[in-house]
Structure formats: structure tokens, C-alpha cells
Amino acid sequence: MRIEGTGSALPDTVLSAGAIDARLGKAAGWTLAASGVALRHVMTTGTQIDLAVAAARAALDDAGCAACQIDLIVSACGIPYQTLPATAPLVQRGLGVPDGAVATIDVNATCLSFLAALEMVDALIKSGRYRRALIVSADIASRALPWADQPEVAALFGDGAAAAVVGPGAGLRASRLRSYPSAYSACEIGAGGTRFDFATERQAFEAHAQFRMDGKALFRLTAQHFAGFVTELLAEAGLTRDQIDLVVPHQASPGALQHMIRLCGFDPAKVVNIAAEVGNQIAASIPFALDHARRAGRLAPGATVLLLGTSAGVSFGGLVMEV
């Protein structure tokens, strides 16, 4: 497969670290020092689907492709629009694609959903079952945040969407996804699925309806395994770190990015680092950073790019491809 075009979208409302200080009654500069994120966009009007469709249209325009030329739409969001049905049919409807004209599916690997979707779409295109796919990641990350208990965690997140049109062609050199469920509960929203029955376990449901994160547990697991994961991925691609032209990581937090750079031995100049400007956009983070890099002229034709990240679960993901 190869990526034929990318696009992204942001809500109009920008929330600064200073505004959060004022809202929380903190001293000026507290939020920025605690999170490292200066700005994040938040959805005050419109929906997750509006963001998804805006990013999808931008990707289609970039690829010079009409929506009717797509035969598969994949929604790769960290949090869906609703529990049931899937989110992808609403993207189809938002793009004006007629009933029955395209297949739609959802893929969820939390922050790595875009990478998981790319790996899946690559196999489907190789099989000949589909020719061109639209992958869309859109997340309203500003909701269900623990402002009362973990404001330094809540301040990390921002809303956004990004999309990619994927078609046949040479490009993918290696992909790898690995999970470490020993730390499953280190990053979660426990309610909303079948774990708690809203009718009979209302108190437990409400208690687990907000995001929770154990940063120390995630740090320990990443420090133990992530560098080796990256080494194995690059070996599969037949490349060294120096042969990677650009690293496009999940923008988990400014601190997490610096930790990843040190841990893996990357040249900081080769790493896309926009976490301080947009925050952690969950599944939209990696494709948003990719689109940002493309539009900034950081990906020349033929460049070798490493898409890389971690997610709740806990999972690691990486994909090496030529653009």
C-alpha cells in the first residue's frame, strides 16, 4: 500500500494553559509546568463526526480523489461516537456516499488505532478485495477527563482529527504491534461497555466514567520494553536508525516524547514534536502529526518514515514505510 493523501481538522476553540490555570485557581504557569502543553483545541460546537468528515474531505482533496472512488471507509478512533452502531457509517453519510456504495468498519486499538488500521488495510489491498481505503481518526479527547483528581493528566489532551487515503503501491517495509496486558488497568475508562451494568451498578458505572492514568506504571513498562521493540521493528525493515528520515510518534505528552527520544536514541531533529501545540489527540495524534509533517514539507518523495507509538492496553506499535 501507499498513502495517497492526508488531511486534518481542528475545532475552532483554543484553550491555553493560562486559561486552565485561571479556571482551576492555580498560580500562573502551573498547568504548563505540570503538563508541558501550552495549547489544545476543544470542541465546543459540532460533533466528532463533523471533525472526522472535515479531515476526510481534506485527505480526499490532497489525494485528488472523489469520495465515490473509495470502496472502504475505516473509522480508527480511540473513543467511538457511540457504543453501538459503529462510527464509520456516519463518516460515509457525512461524505454523501450513497447507501450500499462502500464498506465501512471500525478499528480500535486506542491511541494506535490508525496504525492498526493501516496494517489491516495493507493486507486487504494486497488481497485484491479492496482497491482504495479512507482511514479516519477523530477524537474528542477533552471529555471525561480527571480535572479534580489529576489536573496535570487532564491538561495533556486536546481534540482533533486526521485522515489518510490509502491505495495500492509500494511503500510499507515493516509493521509491528505488540501488547502487554499486565498493565491493562494503567490507562482506562472503565465504564461504557459491559464491565458495569448501568441499571444495577450505577455507582460503579459513574465512578469509572472518567479517564484514569497511572503514569509511573506506564513509564516503567515503556522503559523496560520499548527500545527493544523499536530495534526489532527496524531489523524487520532492514534499516538502521540513521536511515530513518523522519519519526512520527504518538504525541502522548512533551515529556513522553523526550523520554522516547532518549530511550530509542533518535536524532531529535528527525522527530515530529507538536505535543505542546495541540496536546494528546488519542488516535488522531499519529495521523495528525503525519499530515502536519507533510504540509510542512518535512516528507520529501521517497522519504522513509517511522510511525511509532504506545497506547492503553498497554500496546506498542510501529510502521516503517516510504512515502
Catalytic positions, written as ranges: 111, 250, 280
Helices (H) and strands (E) in the chain, counts: 11, 13
Q: Are 57 and 95 in contact (CB under 8 A)?
A: yes
C-alpha 168/C-alpha 274 separation (Å) is 30
C-alpha 93/C-alpha 277 separation (Å) is 31
Neighbours of 45 (CB within 10 A): 8
- The amino acid sitting at 158 is G
- The amino acid sitting at 21 is D
Kind and range of the H or E element at 133?
Answer: strand 133-139
285-295 helix and 113-127 helix, angle to the nearest 10 degrees: 80
SS3 (DSSP) at 191: coil
* Phi, psi torsion values for 178, nearest 5 degrees: -140, 140
Cβ-defined contacts of 192-200 (< 8 Å, 24+): 192/83, 193/83
Cβ within 8 Å of residue 52, ≥6 positions away: 9, 75, 77, 87, 90, 91, 94, 136, 138, 161, 163
- The amino acid sitting at 80 is P
Cell of 204: 460503579
- Residue 5's nearest CA partner among 293, 294, 320, 297 is 294
